[in-house]
Amino acid sequence: DQQVKQNSPSLSVQEGRISILNCDYTNSMFDYFLWYKKYPAEGPTFLISISSIKDKNEDGRFTVFLNKSAKHLSLHIVPSQPGDSAVYFCAARNTGTASKLTFGTGTRLQVTL
């Protein structure tokens, strides 16, 4: 039972363009969502998060949008840079579960020159 889904295993975007990574979830008890970025041979690093009481959070080139009615969130990267090439994981926290996170399967982003 995959409660957090990232249906696109990979995405290729030209440098300077917008990258949009999508994530869907099924558990309506999730109250906090995070995006992590992972380079090869490294651990995931926190990128940006959003609470379920908001619909948008922005941090520099990165913006996360949350549509609670559709149980969908997306990460926008504008403009995309070659250093953004990595695997991006969406994660969600379930209210009252000792802050445990449920991760999606990841989307590999490649930013080409």
Query: Using CB under 8 A as the criterion, which residues of the chain lie in contact with other proteins when the complex forms?
Result: 4, 9, 32, 34, 36, 41-46, 49, 51, 89, 93, 98-106
Torsion of CA 104, 108, 109, 113, to 10 degrees: 180
- How far apart CA 108 and CA 37 sit, in angstroms, is 10
Nearest CB to other proteins, comparing residues 79 and 94 = 94
Task: Output the six-digit token pair for 16.
Answer: 């300077």
Is 111 within 8 Å of 80 (Cβ atoms)? yes
Least gap, CB of 113 to other proteins (angstroms): 27
- How far apart CA 106 and CA 3 sit, in angstroms, is 13
Least gap, CB of 15 to other proteins (angstroms): 27
Nearest CB to other proteins, comparing residues 5 and 15 = 5
Least gap, CB of 2 to other proteins (angstroms): 8
Least gap, CB of 105 to other proteins (angstroms): 5
Nearest CB to other proteins, comparing residues 69 and 99 = 99
Nearest CB to other proteins, comparing residues 9 and 16 = 9
